[in-house]
């Protein structure tokens, strides 16, 4: 494999001159630049970009910390991050934290050791103080999930308002016994969707019933189990709001196994609008999050920090859409 010394010898210039050509320096004469480029092509020389970037205190690499790579919700967000990154000469390193605090801290060592130029958190496990410390020293953005008290920019939607809207949709259809399949996690989206569910019931004169709440923790299998428990009750719910589409699919499966028709016997609504939501039978009523746009905006915010163009943390709330499909409304069935 050719080295920079070989290129310098072939072009009959110094190693420093080759380095200046590689760094697009304007101090190199056109004739000399052409000779170096010809030598690079002839020898098929591949410069050590990592070493060069480290010497510049840049790696052109961004850490993206997400709780699990198995959840299809994150795919659209990652694509947005990646597209904006590539347009600006950055690559991304996906890190699966498994919602584990220690694993998250281990990945952050890459940032502290200057092996990454910044970090995007999808669902941070660090507390507010720890996040603020990271944000004070390194470019950092929270995307989707965030810690409100942390001095770190975040991009999300109004989860409370969105959940209130989808539960109100079920109430408008005439449902009074509405079950919830939520999560016991401390993620802000889980908390806000749960609180909005309770508030929507109360605002419509429906008493909140803890017996109608089950926990799927964003898992299909756990949601299936939770939905079976709800649907086996003598006073079973006539509708279920699952705080993610994955759990909504579990709820629909539980209904089918109980020989209940969706939505005729029990309506089911989800959240996120993952691709499967429009492919499932019946198609799932859900809240569509602008996942790709979230990723784009998060990466743009991070790049501004890297360039020193952001003076203080920003909070950006993007729009969402309630998409009504077959799983809640009978007249949408064909």
Q: Are strands 140-143 and 286-288 parallel, antiparallel or unpaired?
A: unpaired
What element of type H or E holds 207? none
| DSSP symbols for 92-140 | EEEEE-TT-HHHHHHHHHHHHTTS-SEEEESS--S-HHHHHHHHHHS-E
Residue 320 token pair: 């969402």
Across the strands, what pairs with 321?
288
Is the CB of residue 59 less than 8 Å from the CB of residue 114? yes
pLDDT band at residue 48 using 50, 70 and 90 as cut-offs:
low
Question: Is the predicted pLDDT of residue 267 greater than 60, yes or no?
Answer: yes
Per-residue CA distances from 168 to 176, 177, 196, 326 (Å): 11, 12, 10, 17
The tens digit of pLDDT for each residue in 62-76 reads: 999 999 988 899 999
pLDDT band at residue 23 using 50, 70 and 90 as cut-offs:
confident
**Secondary structure letter of residue 312 according to DSSP:** S
* Alpha-carbon dihedral angle through residues 144, 289, 239, 203, given to the nearest 10 degrees: 70
* Domains of the chain from N-terminus onward: 4-47 (1.10.260.40), 61-157+291-318 (3.40.50.2300), 159-289+323-332 (3.40.50.2300)
Is the CB of residue 92 less than 8 Å from the CB of residue 36? no
pLDDT band at residue 333 using 50, 70 and 90 as cut-offs:
very low
The tens digit of pLDDT for each residue in 130-163 reads: 999 999 999 999 999 999 889 999 999 999 999 9
Residue 132 token pair: 């603020």
Going by C-alpha positions, the residue among 129, 140, 65 that lies closest to residue 98 is 65
Is the CB of residue 178 less than 8 Å from the CB of residue 142? no
Question: Is the predicted pLDDT of residue 25 greater than 90, yes or no?
Answer: no
List Cβ neighbours of 51 (8 Å cut-off, separation of 6 or more). Answer: none
The tens digit of pLDDT for each residue in 197-217 reads: 999 999 999 999 999 999 999
The neighbour count for residue 43, using CB atoms within 10 Å, is 16
Question: Is the predicted pLDDT of residue 55 greater than 60, yes or no?
Answer: no
The tens digit of pLDDT for each residue in 62-118 reads: 999 999 988 899 999 999 999 999 999 999 999 999 999 999 999 999 999 888 999
**Average pLDDT of the chain, as a whole number:** 92
Spatial separation of the C-alpha atoms in residues 81 and 11, rounded to whole Å: 40
Spatial separation of the C-alpha atoms in residues 131 and 14, rounded to whole Å: 47
Spatial separation of the C-alpha atoms in residues 1 and 157, rounded to whole Å: 50
**pTM for this one?**
0.82
């Amino acid at each position: 494999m050719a080295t920079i010394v070989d290129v310098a010898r072939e072009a009959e210039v110094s190693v420093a001159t080759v380095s200046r050509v590689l760094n697009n320096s304007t101090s190199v004469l056109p004739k000399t630049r052409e000779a170096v480029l010809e030598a690079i092509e002839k020898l098929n020389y591949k410069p050590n970009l990592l070493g060069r970037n480290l010497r510049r205190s840049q790696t052109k690499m961004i850490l993206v910390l997400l709780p699990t790579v198995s959840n299809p919700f994150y795919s659209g967000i990652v694509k947005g991050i990646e597209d904006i990154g590539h347009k600006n000469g950055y690559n991304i390193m996906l890190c699966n934290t498994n919602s584990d605090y220690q694993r998250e801290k281990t990945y952050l060592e890459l940032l502290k050791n200057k092996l990454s130029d910044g970090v995007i958190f999808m669902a941070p496990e660090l507390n507010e103080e720890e996040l603020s410390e990271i944000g004070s020293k390194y470019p950092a953005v929270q995307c989707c999930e965030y810690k409100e008290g942390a001095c770190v920019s975040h991009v999300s939607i109004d989860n409370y308002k969105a959940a209130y809207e989808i539960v109100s949709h079920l109430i408008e259809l005439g449902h009074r016994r509405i079950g919830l399949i939520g999560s016991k996690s401390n993620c802000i989206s889980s908390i806000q969707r749960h609180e909005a569910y309770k508030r929507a019931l109360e605002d419509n004169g429906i008493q909140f019933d803890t017996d109608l709440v089950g926990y799927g923790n964003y898992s299909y299998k756990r949601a299936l189990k939770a939905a079976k428990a709800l649907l086996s009750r003598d006073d079973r719910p006539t509708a279920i709001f699952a705080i993610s589409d994955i759990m909504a699919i579990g709820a629909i499966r539980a209904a089918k196994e109980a020989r209940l028709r969706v939505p005729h016997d029990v309506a089911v609504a989800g959240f996120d609008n993952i691709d499967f939501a429009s492919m499932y039978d019946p198609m799932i009523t859900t809240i569509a999050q602008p996942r790709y746009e979230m990723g784009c905006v998060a990466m743009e915010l991070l790049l501004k920090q890297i360039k020193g163009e952001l003076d203080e943390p920003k909070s950006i709330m993007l729009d969402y859409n309630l998409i009504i499909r077959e799983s809640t409304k009978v007249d949408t069935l064909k």
